[in-house]
Structure 1
Amino acid sequence: MYKVKEVADIVGVSVRTLHHYDQIGLLQPESITPAGYRLYTSSNLERLQQILFFKEIGFSLQEIKNVLDQPDFDRKEALKLHKDLLKKKRQRLDDMIHTVDQTIQSLEGGTAMTNEDMFKGFDMKEIEEHQKKYADEVREKYPKETVDQAQAKTSQYTKDDWQNIMEETNEIYGNIAKRMDRDPADPEVQQEVGKWKQFITENFYYCTFEIFRGLADLYVDDPRFTKNIDKHGEGLSQYLRKAMIIYCDNHS
């Protein structure tokens, strides 16, 4: 366990910042001692790392909370995307260092620099485009209207609430995975799919049939969702998509 001052020293943020993150529900400590000391675990530090990554690419604190609190958030895939962005930035820094070296050589009487060489590394266009693509890719998964609804509900959730939500999510996925040998239109499968739609509405946002159908496509179009769902059974994402579409066709 780490006290708030220890976390601040490890990460390089202020104690005041950590207090603020706690107050808005972005990063809550694992526990608070009777004396009022906040105590953090390694899991808390992992979440803080992801918060700082998202901050670096321009996400607001509320946007970060909305994304990290999604049950299907895949930290590993998010880190891979961020690594790509960092590699772009590293290449830019290497180019700028090379430009500085060339400029020094030119000033000392070396070969004159071309205009292109003189400004190599200063062009932020590629990084900005890559950064925007990364940010848009995250944001587009969660339309503003549904994000607002989800935030209104999830902002009140406790750690125990989230634990219950994850357990119920795993239970529903598991129940459907057990029935993958059946037709997706099977009544028991459809009953579980109905539970999933209702679960989303009760815990996050009003899940219309249009949104539910969109989620069905997202589960197979986005490899991060596919990977997370398929942990419960190989090919579950494809099977679930078919079952969800059948459910929408039969009820909408």
Structure 2
Amino acid sequence: MESVPDGSDTVELTIGQAAARLGVTVRTLRHWDEIALAQPSSRSPAGYRLYAAGDLERLRRVIVYRELGMELHAIRSVLDDPADLVDTVLRAQQTQLTDRIRHLSALRDDLARMADAHEHGVLMTAEEQTEVFGPEWNPRWPGEARQRYGNTPQWRQYAERSASRTPADWKVIADATTALDQALAAALDDGVEPGSAEANALVERHREVFAAYFPITREMQVCLGHMYEADPAFAAHYDGVRAGLASWLRCSIDASARAHGIDPESATWR
């Protein structure tokens, strides 16, 4: 039966043979038969579906239109409606396909930015980073952070946010960080005691500012405070803003944590 040319009106293929020839599943052909989209012309004495050449041609057209992304009801319209309606359906499908291509193109670009953000952290040139974050900023720092924290959930959250940020967005965050540093320094100058209402408000402000990078729990903030004091690079930054600021900030974060029922000595990154 397979040797009969496709153009012959006498060709009759079983559903399995038709599916194999067309590159679709038997289940698909059964579904198209059940919804009367593409039905076999006849059945065998035993009740099995038999597909003639005309049936195969309709099936091929269904497959072509489906590969173009058309819904089955639209395919039915193209195959069965008068010619003057076919043009309308095809033009509408063309518009939908154009919109889909535009959407997929945007999605491709977004995925590329996401991948770049996961790899580099900040999607700005070295010059842009220096302009946004200031002359003390080292453009190598994001790469070093990627090596150190790249396998953590926080890095993934940071990268996901970074992927959608412009230099202007980063400038807002950088300005907020600088303003926070100055507010912390002013509090230290004024003799604000850790655990006081004013110090606790600054600790909350610190958590809000740095939540721009990734969500920060109070326990995570405690860990950050201890790192600010113990890590030479972070300590140099805060003590460069004001001598003793790294220790004052750590003490203030610890005091605020205790007020919320957290023991700073047992706090973990969670």
Higher CA-based Rg: 2
Relative contact order: is structure 1 or structure 2 higher (C-alpha 8 Å, sep ≥ 6)? 1
Query: What TM-score do the two structures reach when normalised by structure 1?
Result: 0.47
